[in-house]
Every structure is written in C-alpha cells, then in structure tokens.
Amino acid sequence: MNNVLVKITGLDHLGRGIGRVEGKIIFVKNAYINEEVTVKITKEKKKFLEGEIVDFEYKSPFRIDSKCNILNCGCALKHVPYEKQLEFKEEKIKNIIKRYTNLEKVVKKIIPSDDIYNYRNKVTLKVKEKLAYSENDSHNLICIDRCELLDEKINKIIKEINKMDLNNVSEVMIRSFDETMVCFKGNIDIKELNGVSSIYIDDKLVLGQEKIKANLGNFNFLVSDKAFFQVNTKMAFKLYKKVEDIITKDKTKTLLDLYCGTGTIGIFLSKHFKKVIGIEISEKAVMDAKENTKNNNIENCKFYVGNLDNGLKEKADIIVVDPPRKGLSQKTIKDILDVEPEEIIYVSCDPMTLARDINLFKDGYTVEEIIPLDLFPHTYHVESITKLKRKN
Ligand SMILES: C[S@@+](CC[C@H](N)C(=O)[O-])C[C@H]1O[C@@H](n2cnc3c(N)ncnc32)[C@H](O)[C@@H]1O
C-alpha cells in the first residue's frame, strides 16, 4: 500500500494515534490527537492497519520535542506534555473500567509522579557491541549511552560498561537505590566498577554484598538481584503511603499481604495490625522480606514462599493483593472470596486485568474507589489502588 494521509482522532490504550483509512482503523506510533500525518503502512491485517509517520501535514500545538531520539522504546508518550500524559492515563483507566464494569465514577484524579525524568531505579539491557534496548515489536537492538528515564547513577554505569569488551555478554541488569548492583549474563573479566557495591556474573556474586539497600521513609529494604522492587522509588513510597491512608486500620485484625515481594507493603502497614502474613513465589524475595522485618525491628510480620495459583490456606480480616500484570487467577479470586475478608486493597499495574478481576468480586464486594498513580511517566502504563468493601 502507498503512503496514506491520516487524521488522528484519539489515542489507543498503548498511546498510539488512531485514525481511519478506507474505513479501516489504523494505529500510528508517536502521533497525537488532531494531527494530520502522512503514514507508511508497516502492518496490514484484516481488521486494522499499523503505520509510521513519514511527514506531518498538521502538527499538534501540544506536541513537545522529546529529550531523546530513541524510537520504538517503551516511551510511547514522550512527545506528549506531562499534563496531557496524566489526562491520557486517567481517561485510559476510566475507559477500561467502564468497558468491563459501570464503575468509572469511582476513579479518582491521578496522582502525578514526583519526577518525570531520571525516576527509574532499574534497567535490563541486551548487548549489540554496546548496551542496547530491544525495539518494540521486533528483535532489533538499539545501542544506547543513556536513557532519560534512568537514574543518572545508572547512566554513568552504562557509559562505563560501554567501554568494556562485551563480546561474551548477552544481558546486563543495573539497579540503583542508595547502593548500586550490576548483574551480567555471560562472561566478563571484571574486578570492580566505580560506584557499584554488588556485581553478579551469571547469578554468582563476584564482588561486594549480596543485596542492596533502598530507603523508603523510615524503613530500609534490602533487595536481592532476583527480587521484584517498584522501579520508581519515590512513587513506591507514595503508593504505599496511599495504601496506608485508605486501608481500614485495626490493631485487633490480621492482614494478608499477597504477592508481597520483599515485604514492603506488609512492613509499611504492620503497625496498624495485630499480625501480617505475606506470601510470595520468589524465594529470594521472601528471604529479603524476612531480613527486612528484622532490620526494621518489626515483630508481627511473617513471610513465606508460596505459589498463590496453587491455593491460599491463610485466613485474614483484610487482604492486600499486588499481583503481576496478568492479575489474579480465577482460583485465587475464588480462594479470596472463600476467606471473606471485610476489605480488599488491590494494587494493580494493568487496568485491563484489574477491571476483569474486580468484575468477578462484584457480587460480594463494593468498589469504593480506584486511585490511579503515575509511576511510569512517558510510557502508557498506569498503576492504581482499588478499595473493595464486603457487602455484608
Ligand atoms: C507487582 S510485584 C509486587 C511486589 C510487592 N508487593 C512490592 O510492592 O514490591 C508482584 C509479585 O508477585 C510475585 N508473584 C508472581 N506470581 C506469583 C504467584 N503465582 N504466587 C505468589 N507470588 C507471585 C512476583 O514474584 C512479585 O514479587
């Protein structure tokens, strides 16, 4: 198909411009609402087309020049001003919730990110001579020296690593809080790296300490190489504070922290409950959670390894869930319903699976509020906290 002129009428949930060509819907990356763009078709399917901008007939006055020139990375909204990114995310979550339920009115105003650049504490890069991102929708690797989303400590380390011989390295993960960890996959001769307190090669610690420390308010968290930790440290603190604000606190009650990772949410909330039990599939994360309870002088939290897809044996008055993007399995939802907690707090990083899941709780639970938070500026992702209350 020849290049086509497209009028962009909206954005889809991935932040792509939407238009029509001969009655067929077309998705155009990096396009903004009301723009008229000449588009090269990159994919032709029965029901839709995809394309890339070749030229602008009309550019939106809202469009901003991005700080970086990398194309097709995770920053689908980098040409969109931050206030408009927030509007997009709030609308996105409302639209998705509306599609599955009729609850869009309980969606609150989005909480913006404190920082919109240099907020990421972690990156995993591939190697193509130098460190590289994997381009979206392809196997292409794009070499980088820096990324505007990453903590500058990580950018410095990327520059250092790019000077090394990476011929036998396939992947590098860098994570940085108050301390910094670098994990290589492959073979590399390395004795030290400036500013790095922990180096792993193929899952073996070769330099420094096993875990690195992150401070969130009054709490310290040690985090292992394989454990999950929120990528936006300042906003992780805001997220947990918000959960603390809205949860019903009662020192006679037991709280279950499901998908607990390194124990962050349970430890944050421990002073408001008699007992906290955390369950998590990653052994390393549970070891961190146990150490984190000790280091923060907390005595009422217990964490253990468990695959929640295989069942939930614990009882509790209140349950917090913070699952990965795929959300809760039907079995986990049934198990939670069997426990009959008086309140469920659902922390979600994917509004699609959140909407699907809260729909399955609707007979027994009322959704009181959904609070979106922006933990991932310039990307289309949106985090949220939902409070569900038992009906009787
Ligand atoms: C979004 S993270 C949340 C972690 C933690 N609440 C936090 O804020 O850091 C999801 C966690 O669920 C864990 N997980 C994934 N599938 C699981 C399963 N089937 N059973 C238990 N935990 C699981 C992951 O290892 C990860 O630590």
* DSSP-derived secondary structure for 166-214: -TTEEEEEEEESSSEEEEEEE----S--TT-SEEEETTEEEEE-SSEEE
CA of 321 from ligand 1 middle (Å) equals 9
**Res. 234: pLDDT tops 90:** yes
User: How much is the average pLDDT of 38-50?
Assistant: 95
25 bridge partner residues:
20, 48
CB of 229 closer than 6 angstroms to any ligand 1 atom: yes
Q: Which atom of ligand 1 is nearest to the CA of 310?
A: 19
**Which active-site residues does the annotation give?**
349
- Provide the pLDDT for residue 217: 94
CB of 280 closer than 6 angstroms to any ligand 1 atom: yes
Containing 265, the helix (H) or strand (E) segment is: helix 264-269
- Amino acid letter for position 312: L
Q: How far apart are CA 347 and CA 245, in angstroms?
A: 14
**Res. 371: pLDDT tops 80:** yes
Candidate from 228, 330, 354 with most ligand 1 atoms within 8 A of CB, to mutate:
228
Q: How far apart are CA 375 and CA 366, in angstroms?
A: 26
CA of 346 from ligand 1 middle (Å) equals 13
Candidate from 224, 226, 259 with most ligand 1 atoms within 8 A of CB, to mutate:
259
CB of 322 closer than 6 angstroms to any ligand 1 atom: yes
**Res. 358: pLDDT tops 80:** yes
Average pLDDT, the chain: 96
- Provide the pLDDT for residue 296: 98
Q: How far apart are CA 64 and CA 80, in angstroms?
A: 6
User: How much is the average pLDDT of 340-363?
Assistant: 97
CA of 262 from ligand 1 middle (Å) equals 9
CB of 263 closer than 6 angstroms to any ligand 1 atom: no
- Provide the pLDDT for residue 50: 96
Counting beta carbons within 10 angstroms of the beta carbon of residue 261, is it exposed (0 to 12), middle (13 to 18) or buried (19 or more)?
buried
Which residues, in sequence order, are CB contacts of 171 under 8 Å at separation 6+? 124, 125, 126, 127, 184, 185, 186
CB of 307 closer than 6 angstroms to any ligand 1 atom: yes
372: three-class secondary structure by DSSP: strand
Question: In this predicted model, what pLDDT tens digit does every residue of 77-125 receive, in sequence order?
Answer: 999 999 999 999 999 999 999 999 989 899 999 999 999 999 999 999 9
User: How much is the average pLDDT of 311-316?
Assistant: 96
285: three-class secondary structure by DSSP: helix
What confidence category does residue 71 fall into, taking pLDDT thresholds of 50, 70 and 90?
confident
- Provide the pLDDT for residue 66: 87
Output the CA torsion 28→90→58→4 (10° steps).
20
- Provide the pLDDT for residue 27: 97
User: How much is the average pLDDT of 197-216?
Assistant: 96
**Res. 69: pLDDT tops 90:** no
What confidence category does residue 336 fall into, taking pLDDT thresholds of 50, 70 and 90?
very high
Task: Please provide the CATH number assigned to the domain covering 4-63.
Answer: 2.40.50.140
Q: Are 240 and 265 in contact (CB under 8 A)?
A: yes
CA of 307 from ligand 1 middle (Å) equals 10
- Provide the pLDDT for residue 306: 98
Q: Which atom of ligand 1 is nearest to the CA of 227?
A: 27
| Domain residue ranges of the chain, discontinuous segments joined by + | 4-63, 84-115+233-390, 122-214
> What percent of the chain is modeled with pLDDT above 90?
93
- Provide the pLDDT for residue 246: 98
- Provide the pLDDT for residue 2: 85
Question: In this predicted model, what pLDDT tens digit does every residue of 118-174 receive, in sequence order?
Answer: 999 999 999 999 999 998 878 899 999 999 999 999 999 999 999 999 999 999 999
Asked, colleague to colleague, whether 4-63 and 122-214 share their fold, the answer is yes
- Provide the pLDDT for residue 102: 86
According to the CATH classification, is domain 84-115+233-390 in 3.40.50.2300?
no
Q: Which atom of ligand 1 is nearest to the CA of 228?
A: 27
- Provide the pLDDT for residue 136: 81
CB of 324 closer than 6 angstroms to any ligand 1 atom: yes
CA of 20 from ligand 1 middle (Å) equals 40
Q: Are 28 and 48 in contact (CB under 8 A)?
A: no
Question: In this predicted model, what pLDDT tens digit does every residue of 6-39 receive, in sequence order?
Answer: 999 999 999 999 999 999 999 999 999 999 999 9
Q: Are 134 and 145 in contact (CB under 8 A)?
A: no
Task: Please provide the CATH number assigned to the domain covering 122-214.
Answer: 2.40.50.1070
